[in-house]
Amino acid sequence: MSQRYTFETQLLHNKHKVDPATGGVSVPIQHASTFHQVSADEFGKYDYSRSLNPTREALEEIIAELEGGVRGFAFSSGMAAISTAFLLLSQGDHVVVTEDVYGGTYRMVTQVLNRFGIEHTFVDMTDLEAVEEAIRPNTALLYAETPSNPLLKVTDIRAISEIAKKHSALTFVDNTFMTPYLQRPLDLGADIVLHSATKFLSGHSDTVAGLAVVKDEELAKRLYSLQNSFGAVLGVQDAWLVMRGIKTLSVRMNQSQESARKIAGFLLKQPLIKNVYYPGLLNHPQSGIQKQQAYGTGAVLSFELENAEVLSRFIEQVKLPVFAVSLGAVESILSYPAKMSHAAMPQHERERRGISEGLLRLSVGLESAEDLIADIEQALNTIGIFAVKKEEVR
């Protein structure tokens, strides 16, 4: 593209803005699984939709441009994207994985890859010395997720990529929490960026999808071959939903992020809240790195109540957020990591990582911040009164 538009404009004005066949201003959904070929020795660009489909291809080109990579790939879920990218590894390889990685990725690494002779070490990736120490002669991959789930720890993507390069290893970054609007890992040295497009990119809690974007052609060819071999491709209806979601990404992100900042500030002052985790808070240990490598602090925060009992009372009182797994949607979503996203992790591992039974994660949606704060406040007040009454009874 000759002229470089701002990201907001790029979200709308890409090569798929107008359908060349009809002038339609929405990418057509091509349902065909197979494509007619003109002769026995001349095959067209499309032959079979697992290998390439025009609707999926449009999404793949859009995400590649937004992330600044050479090629994008759309998968049937975030885990399909992540698992397929892991298939770039071979038996005998070793991976260094950030320790508070998404629960499904933890399960993939510890219960699936291990059976294929792929070793792993979990490290706190905010500690670069620990990352260096975890590297072995057979380390082929450093896997980061930043800000991490659910404790919002920030990994220095540039530093991790440099360590990886020094040891001829690849760097993958799960960019689900930030999206390319707020963070572009390929520009910071990563080789592959991964997404659960189920979250902010589609943004409406109505589709499950995954994306991968690759920085160089050689790696792109290998990942394409794996996408086609493994076959966990995204369906065309879902590809269309993700493309529609992407058009409003920046306005959704801006609004949710601003509310998240206000809510984090409010929570910080509440006596019933033990800890607040949000990279936009000044007391966040890596707020400086976040500022350097990202254009914002996102719309997800976590906070800790005293224990599981107080937490369940809070959940009963709070009215606006849906209580559910997932994040990154127009409606606020409150989740319970210990019982939801990180249920696949053994209790002692969760506790060692600080994912306590009193921890809640809030993905801030598009409701007004004032309403959300008032709702949280009334819930805290109610459980506060309850706590006092209990004292009196004793």
Ligand X SMILES: *Cc1c(COP(=O)(O)O)cnc(C)c1O
Residue 196 found at the interface with ligand X (CB under 6 A): yes
- Beta carbon of residue 185, minimum distance to ligand X (angstroms, whole number): 13
Count of residues touching ligand X (by CB under 6 A): 14
**In whole angstroms, what is the distance from residue 346 CA to residue 378 CA?**
34
Residue 210 found at the interface with ligand X (CB under 6 A): yes
- Beta carbon of residue 137, minimum distance to ligand X (angstroms, whole number): 29
Residue type (1 letter), 67 = E
Q: Which of 67, 145, 156, 357 binds ligand X (CB under 6 A)?
A: 145
Region from 75-83, 179-187, 215-223, 230-238 binding ligand X, contact rule CB under 6 A: 75-83
**In whole angstroms, what is the distance from residue 19 CA to residue 365 CA?**
32
Residue 335 found at the interface with ligand X (CB under 6 A): no
H or E stretch covering 95: strand 94-98
C-alpha pair distances (Å), 293 with each of 157, 288, 289, 316: 8, 9, 6, 38
Residues labelled catalytic: 50, 102, 174, 199
- Beta carbon of residue 111, minimum distance to ligand X (angstroms, whole number): 15
Region from 19-27, 85-93, 193-201, 281-289 binding ligand X, contact rule CB under 6 A: 193-201
CB-based contacts of 381-384 (< 8 A; 24+ apart in sequence): 382/313, 382/317, 383/272, 383/310, 383/313, 383/314, 383/317, 384/272
Residue 102 found at the interface with ligand X (CB under 6 A): yes
- Per the document, the length of the chain is 394
**In whole angstroms, what is the distance from residue 312 CA to residue 358 CA?**
9
Return phi, psi of residue 303, to 5°: -145, 155
- Beta carbon of residue 239, minimum distance to ligand X (angstroms, whole number): 14
- Beta carbon of residue 56, minimum distance to ligand X (angstroms, whole number): 16
CB closer to ligand X, 299 vs 380:
299
Closest by CA position to 29, among listed 247, 242, 229, 250: 242
CB closer to ligand X, 359 vs 383:
359
Residue 290 found at the interface with ligand X (CB under 6 A): no
Edge-to-edge strands of the sheet including 94-98? Answer: 71-75, 210-214, 192-196, 170-174, 139-145, 94-98, 119-123
Binding mask 149-178 for ligand X (x = CB under 6 A): x------------------------x-x--
Residue 235 found at the interface with ligand X (CB under 6 A): no
CB-based contacts of 384-388 (< 8 A; 24+ apart in sequence): 384/272, 386/313, 387/272, 387/310
Region from 28-36, 73-81, 249-257, 356-364 binding ligand X, contact rule CB under 6 A: 73-81
CA atoms within 13 A on the CB side of 338: 21
- Beta carbon of residue 88, minimum distance to ligand X (angstroms, whole number): 17
Binding region for ligand X (CB under 6 A):
77-79, 102, 104, 145, 149, 174, 176, 196, 198-199, 208, 210
